[in-house]
Amino acid sequence: MMMSASERILHFFGRPLVRCFYCVQSVGIECLPKGGFLLLPNHISWVDAIVLQLACPRPIRYIIDREFYDKPFLRPFLRIVRCIPIEPSHSRSAIRAASGQIAAGEIVCLFPEGQLERAGTLLRLRRGYELIAHHANAPVVPVWLDRLWGSIFSFQGGKFFRKWPKEIPYSVTVAFGKPLGAEAADIATVREELLKLGEFCYSRRRNLDRHLAEACVRGLKRRPFATAMIDGIDQSKLSRAKLLGAAAALARLLRKQCRDPRVAIVLPAGKGAVVTNLAVTLAGKVPVDLNFTMGRSANESACQRAELRTAISATQFMERLKDFPWPERILKLDELIPRMKAQIVFWSLMSILLPTPLLTRLLQIPKKGGHEEALLLFTSGSSGEPKGVGLSHRNIVGNVSQFRELLDAKKDDAILAALPFFHSFGSTVTLWYPLIEGVRIVTFPNPLEVAKNAALIEKYKLTLLLATPTFLRGYLRKVEPHQLRSLRLVITGAEKLPLDLAKSFEDRFKQKVFEGYGLTETSPVVSVNLPEPTPTKPGEQVQPSSRLGSVGKMAPGIAAEIREPESDRKLSLHETGMLWLRGPNIFEGYLRDRERTAEVLRNGWFKTGDIGRFDDDGFLYIEGRLSRFSKIGGEMVPHEAIEQKIIDLLELSGRDERAIAVVGVTDETKGEALLLLSVVDVDLAALRKKLHEAGVPNLWIPKRVQRVESIPILASGKLDLKKCNQLAKGN
């Protein structure tokens, strides 16, 4: 562990120089073993080794590719710090050299991904480190380098070096994990530990404690004259300054006239809903976008539990809601806004002229939001009574930050905001994300009116379409291919993407459909597939960003565990089981429901209720919702897999509406049996024969078929399991 004289000189002059550009905070140094060990970091930028050495109190011996080791301008320095060159075809000598260094008490570092990350997400871990660990019988220490994605030496923005540094010195956190024994440090375990360290670092980021209103003000203050939104109904435009001015004026009114901590918003996606949500947040109150499609009893329950006494809506929209349980006080935008023209002009000017700190002080926005409730959403109630999900400022600001790193939006990107804001996907991705990140949106109140949505995409050259698979089906019949030509990204969520739909959409529109995954309780984005990066030179092998059948790679800052569904026994990430998540985007708990909160939140970990697994590259596969499995003869039988098989065999994929649904019903002999709900006539005997011939196990074959007029779905596009079960029981 002794340094040579030349190495000491290099460290003496090099460390102060590097500290001028990087401010490195080390966490977990006390975890480092005293003797030799193998260090395994993630690989984000060209300066990872330098930053890691700054964070570590002892010298590190890096295993480096022979191609770089032999470069004339690098080799003298690499020899001084005793790097170990390795060639893929002759790796034994490098393994012996690394083992020898570890035996001598040195720290040897290998980047297990083998290459720089091009999308900011952890790549496949290569097995070479296992050979070294076993050969040296040495402890393995995972380490995470945080915030280097975005530095000029990373590939963020699709390029190395050619970008301005965000700050000087650039703040970086390096977190060392607990040592793992050589036998325990398999690929799944090391990936899991790296993700946990990544979540630990991400959750420590100070910007996550910002108040949601401050984050929105900062976003809208950038380029104040740029268009923030276009209303797809009347084609009216709002600049960022005018949007902020209108919301600030309404916020001042709400502070005076409404003392309740929560305010109900009953509006479809449009300029009124955007202004109102922002205004309620600027007023220091909690917006509660109510699902006006849920029915009277569900909304009565929501209003009662959330103690909502004031609602904001509009006269024209109220006339369409014949049986809505309105709170005792209703503020109508069409009456308020015309009387506030002078205030809107004043606050629009203030938003242009005043610096952000002074403007936030005038608007009385708290400096921190943290764990305080920022908004309240009610779940779609797909499997029972809707639950109130309280999302904190950290949850929303954190998830917007995570989605930003995944999406890496371009300056000319524009989103179709047709998803309802009472749905978590619509709320975070098409409302708060654009406000904070300055992405233009075009709103439309109904995602089912696909012809009108497509006309807006064509007219305004929108680039991002976010939808559910149910909403996407309508595009196949009612939209011409040229109308979607401007799109660069189509993402679906909320329900499983059928492979036949993805293929049909790509065939017709020459647009791939990328599936994501999220839950209201996760704010909602957890993972998403993304387009493959463009090769920088002919024949270059690109890093995979999507994988058919998966829901993509997880967003940065989220840790995962797979556990046995019934016993909660921990499994490998590569095994199939219950998915548990931890991160800054995980909700704070269900509203006034300690029992159900305790069921799903344990020591910071959230039980998703979904059965999943990860592959070697880190892609997440969701096998199905636990509520969409039946336990028959001791075996877990997945409803969605059976539905897809039946759709293929009966050629039902071309229909606009959902044609079938499989539900579990009580059975005296097996405990549970499968029932097929169908909108078309199905010959059960013929279907049984086809399923047998396709190799489907007997337990997976529906026992009965029940003809129904339609398959119940929710406004979000999800299957309404509650009503499906009622149909199955004859209610």
**pLDDT at residue 314 above 70?**
yes
**pLDDT at residue 400 above 60?**
yes
670 — pLDDT class (breaks 50, 70, 90): low
Averaged pLDDT for residues 376-397:
83
pLDDT digits (tens, 9 = 90+) for 128-155: 888 888 888 889 999 999 888 877 777 7
**pLDDT at residue 708 above 70?**
yes
Least confident piece of the model among 185-189, 242-246, 346-350, 404-408: 404-408
**pLDDT at residue 571 above 70?**
yes
What mean pLDDT is reported for the chain? 86
Averaged pLDDT for residues 202-231:
93
More confident of the two residues 382 and 193 = 193
Are the C-beta atoms of 540 and 605 separated by less than 8 Å? Answer: no
Are the C-beta atoms of 484 and 465 separated by less than 8 Å? Answer: yes
**pLDDT at residue 334 above 60?**
yes
Averaged pLDDT for residues 365-390:
83
Token readout for 281 is 């947040």
Token readout for 447 is 């995602």
Q: Where are the alpha helices (DSSP H) in 438-498?
A: 450-460, 469-478
pLDDT reported for residue 14: 58
pLDDT digits (tens, 9 = 90+) for 245-263: 999 999 999 999 888 999 9
Averaged pLDDT for residues 550-564:
94
pLDDT reported for residue 263: 95
Backbone angles phi, psi at 594, to 5 degrees: -65, -35
pLDDT reported for residue 591: 92
Averaged pLDDT for residues 437-463:
93
From residue 456, how far is each of 130, 149, 231, 233, 235 by CA, in Å?
54, 34, 10, 10, 10
- Overall pTM > 0.75: yes
**pLDDT at residue 87 above 90?**
no
**pLDDT at residue 3 above 80?**
no
Domains of the chain: 5-204 (3.40.1130.10), 212-532+547-614 (3.40.50.12780), 633-728 (3.30.300.30)
**Residue among 247, 249, 248, 229 nearest 238 (CA):** 229
pLDDT reported for residue 495: 79
Q: What is d(CA 244, CA 239) in angstroms, rounded to the nearest whole number?
A: 9
499 — pLDDT class (breaks 50, 70, 90): confident
pLDDT digits (tens, 9 = 90+) for 20-57: 666 778 888 998 988 889 899 999 888 888 888 888 88
pLDDT reported for residue 137: 86
pLDDT reported for residue 163: 63
Q: Is the peptide bond before 357 cis (omega within 30 degrees of 0)?
A: no
Q: Where are the alpha helices (DSSP H) in 354-389?
A: 356-362
79 — pLDDT class (breaks 50, 70, 90): low
Q: How many CB atoms lie within 10 A of CB 656?
A: 14
**pLDDT at residue 10 above 70?**
no
Token readout for 135 is 């050969």
